[in-house]
Amino acid sequence: MRKAIFAFVLGLCTLVAGLAGTHSAARADGVKPARLVVDAETGKVLVADRANLPWYPASLTKLMTAYITFSEVAAGRLSLSDTIAVSAEAAAQPPTKFGFRTGQKITVEQALTAMLVSSANDAAYALAERIGGSASGFVDRMNATAQGLGMIGTAFRNPNGLPDNAQMTTARDMAVLALALIHTFPDRYSMFGLRQVTIGNRSQPTVNSLLGAYPGADGMKTGFTCGSGYNMVGSAIHGGQRLVAVVLGAHDRGQRMVLMRSLFDSGFKGGETVPNTTLNIAMVPAGLETAAPPTVLKGSDCAASDDIDAENTDAAPAHLPGWGVIFGSFPDPNVARQAIGASQLKLKGGVSGGRPAVVKRQFEGVTRYAALLVGLSSNDAGEACRMMWHRAQYCLALNPTVLNDPHALWR
């Protein structure tokens, strides 16, 4: 287990820009996403492109928060059944969050599942305070742990991935962390593949669209901020072989999914040519790229124009009927309507009924307009997403409770 992780770290010592392959599509702002896929058992690098590019981790940060929490449980210093009193600071974390109230008592397990399934920032912060005594104390632990794992291109500043220009990582480092989670805590890995989290009377679906969209995919984590673009660490098994893939900086959910599928497809076929290296781990810093990460993702959900008149958009009804499916969230309601129309054409003949709905939502301070079909049966909602996944398109089925929960995350 440790040998596999160490071999992987050594194998990535001198990965630099353009090391293997130049096929990854560029974003609209000309920034090409970083991508990497490795064999989880041997640590062999199968595909690598810009694997050491500094990047904002966004909610991939929560993988480290989970790693430290699992470590505390394994050491006997913490139990999954231990309770956490949610502080005012934790409850005040901006969306995405589960919606815990100040003073609410939750268990460590509930906080973990909310953080990993729905990417809840309040849950991550609550765990950090419980384990570190304070968020800053936990961040110190995060950085020490990253250093111990050999994540030499990573610096953490908060436990949940909210924007901070000093919070950095690389695709290579995220793969190191993913391997450590898989090999060190195999008994906890199933948490990364849960499709829904329910705490009390509130349920939220997973934000991980890879689950169910790629054969054998069974976890791990997505991330998004306007600075990072669309990130993902994913794992899939085929023929007894497990691969870990990383994408950092995709332009949108669709491109992120296309890149992930391509990485897995290529990896399971043997990958691309990656030079072998026997360099010592001490030489890793020589392989880091010096380019700064982009500051704002252009031409995406973050590029909402200032002249959008929310009063002229489709108002969300008091109650959305039946099951719904979401095809994406967009900066302009007209673009959301166009996305619904394009999706309906793709579903023609396979799904009957349903009515379009554009719903205004807020995410990390950004206004988005969710493109939905509502009034569907559970079977039609499931079939709609199966058809869209087959086309490598984003789709998430929402049950009536989640559809009408103002705190639920649609992403």
Which residues have a catalytic role annotated?
Answer: 59, 62, 119
Amino acid at 258: V
Residues near 334 by beta carbon (within 8 Å), at least 6 away in sequence: none
Tokens 């398109």 locate to 393
The residues that bridge with 39 in the sheet, in sequence order, are 243
The residues that bridge with 107 in the sheet, in sequence order, are 83
Q: Which of 15, 10, 7 is nearest to 171 (CA)?
A: 15
Distance CA 136, CA 133 (A): 8
Question: What is the CB neighbour count within 10 angstroms for residue 275?
Answer: 11
Q: Reduce the secondary structure of the chain to three states and give it as a string.
A: CHHHHHHHHHHCCCCCCCCCCCCCCCCCCCCCCEEEEEECCCCCEEEEECCCCCECCHHHHHHHHHHHHHHHHHCCCCCCCCEEECCHHHHCCCCCCCCCCCCCEEEHHHHHHHHHHCCCHHHHHHHHHHHHCCHHHHHHHHHHHHHHHCCCCCECCCCCCCCCCCCEECHHHHHHHHHHHHHHCCCCHHHHHCCEEEECCEEEECCCCCCCCCCCEEEEEEEEECCCEEEEEEEEEECCEEEEEEEEEECCHHHHHHHHHHHHHHHHCCCCCCCCCCCCHHHHHHHCCCCCCCCCCCCCCCCCCCCCCHHHCCCCCCCCCCEEEEEEEECCHHHHHHHHHHHHHHHCCCCCCCEEEEEEEEECCEEEEEEEEEEECHHHHHHHHHHHHHCCCCCEEECHHHHCCCCCCCC
